[in-house]
Structure 1
Amino acid sequence: MFKYLQNTFGINTYVSYSTYYKKAKKHKDDVLRTQSNIVNTYMLVQDLDYYKLGMTDAECLQKIGKMVADGELICPTFIVSTGQGYQLIWLLEPFKNIAGYTNDLDWRRIQDHMYEQLKELNSDSVVKNPSAVTRLPGSKHNKTKNVVYGFLANEVKFTLQDFLWFYDIVPVSDRSVKPKKLNKKKATVTTIVKNWNEYTLNRQREEDIFIFVDVQNERGISYIGIRNWLALVLRFHALVSTNGDTEYAENRVKSLCETMDMTETTEKEILRRSKPAETYYKEWIEDTWDRVKYLRGGLFYTNARMLELMNIKEDYYVQWKMKTIKVKNNKYEAARKRFEKYSEEEAANHTWEAYQERRNEKITEEKEDKLWMLKKALEKHSDWNNKQLAEHLSISLATLKRWKSELNKSGKN
């Protein structure tokens, strides 16, 4: 970044949270840092103006350190001393950030949550804009003349889901399903499977959550981070499938608790955290949900979103086991055929990747055998020319020269 510091004389130099399609103004009135111009967003940021409260740098850092140690705050990637306060930066896997869509709404929910969480350090709401900027370490704060420093605190690159699960934030639902009272005739809720009605779809959605838990239990794969969300979604679909039977919905969550890994939680806690499903259901039925806060009514997710949140986008075995939560693309169909013919373990040996791996191993072994044969022939018949060696090994002169070249390379290595 040295050239940028030179161009700006090292004063008030910034880096954006996002990258942009248009990088240069065509007209002087053009505004480049807008969300509609964003390609990807790369970070979450919290700006702390604690000094306005009379708090010292040391006091601020101690509070941040305690929150991290107590498991209340994810350790930031960078702590930037801006020359006047601190900014906490968490690097993210880059994601498309289109205004009003799920990534944008999830990102804003996380920013809102941490903004409220850090209010005692006088957090600034300016960070709620994905096209905002932060100061570049190495530059100077023009007002205070202080140098901006950046301190690496964590080398993990996060995803939005890491924050959703850590802070127990309900992911934005992205399937639009009209409330019952607006339906003029009995309609299907989805087109996942042809002709499924409201009862059968939602009842099978419930079953799919149990299937997911059972399969991951058998494999020993952890889903601890999404337990509360699984119970919440289960309870919501149980309400939909029974026209609001709260007792049935609660009992379904209790049954899930009996099968789930309950490490460091209790049935009471899972029931408490899944209770808001009744509010989501009531607001969906009455068509009274907050249109500003929620993209859709209820807790309906598309299959693609469910697979992403469950971290099984390419886990076709779990998708095959489930009835509704799957995306039937070419990869899924190829995997389904293998699972119908073989066990999960054996099916893994019948993929194109597995075949390529076995083929490469075979080629490598054959190549090593050939080079060993040539090496032994050269040791035993050091006075032979290429023609004699080729005849002895029953290969062409071109092949012999190639083998010799490979042998020389391996000898150098």
Structure 2
Amino acid sequence: MENLKWNETPSDRAKGHVLFHHEKADGWITLAKKEKSGEWQQYHYQADQLAVELSKWLGEDVYFSQNTFYKPQRRIENIRQLRALYVDVDCYVLNYDPEWVVGKTDLEIFKDALPDPNIILFSGRGIVYVWLIEPVPYQALPLWQAVQNYFCEQLKYVGADQKSIDATRVFRVAGSINSKSDNEVAVQYRHAYRYVLRDLQGDYLPELAPSKPKKPGRKSKIIHLHNVRSLHYVRLLDLVRLMDLRDGDVTGQRELLCFLYRYWSCCLTEDTADSLEQMLEFNSEFKEPLPEREVIRATKSAERAWIAKSDAKANEESIERGYPGAGYNLKNTTIIKWLEITPEEQVHLRTIIDGNEKRRRKRERDKLAFREKHGSVSREEYLVKQKDKTEDKLWLLKQAMKRHSKASNVKLAELLGVSEGYIRKLKKKL
């Protein structure tokens, strides 16, 4: 089952597994442990720290993140690199033996319906199939999620868990023990080739190819879901950006921000438990967080709305009443009014913007297109662009200094991906 060596220790197996998965990773990797009390303990490490720290974690129920984060916080909006696709198969629910399922999927699925996985993780009771991909940034999350959903659908008949395919997912580490079965987690390595996400999309979901000419008529369901998921993700990022612009001082809109975060997170990940957990973390970053029980109760309708949105009958009934469908289909103007978003704040947002900001951006694009076609960009426009870049770096530096108050300039430079000299230069502007 596992590619074992006679003299390997559980610690060796754990290091081999994590480092094989996260070779040359950029960003923070989460290590997590489920305590007997049911509480989660988790810390975040850079790839070069893992080999040292991992041995301290070994024991029962140890997990690690499949993707990396740009700051030490395991939240969907903090994704730095998407590094793998994965499907968690709870074959024990169907009373299927894991070895039998592997043989069955080798014959019926891999090579034809799906590519051969890099890793098969025997998690103690079930299986996790993992496909390593060339790292892609967070902007590719909607496409990644579309491919992830497709892979999961192909393995549904052997027990694939639809709730375990979000980008922040953690899975068990080889060499650790599954306390439910008392079995050691084992890994079968099949190959080290990293797939290209766009190639997988082209092979298995060609309808999402950007180069395809538009056809008249109604879009396919897959294209529609992909576009909607893209919108939900960008809106989620805008909520986080808005909170940062206001330095967490959002007392008048806390419930609404948490409600929208929970709803859009459900739409994006299709995982109600994970969306709730991430919303609670989002709430904790307010200057005055809402009490946990209060915010869970106040945003419960967001989860119910997503469940209705996913229900064919509820959608049909809503359309009959004249609505676009079940769930919440909010206009930008409504969101802007509810959250009292100013024109100055909209400049920093990506999608929650009004007509004036859209027109301003179009004018800017048209100016740049004209300059590129008819000559170099003027010095004034170049300076504006450079100023915008500097302001973004200043914002990132402020966030890094807030979360790592004792960090040296060298460490801050590492976190932001710039030189130490540039950090000193930025600090003079604070």
For the aligned pair, the TM-score class normalised by the smaller chain equals: 0.3 to 0.5
TM-score, scaled to structure 2:
0.39
TM-score, scaled to structure 1:
0.40
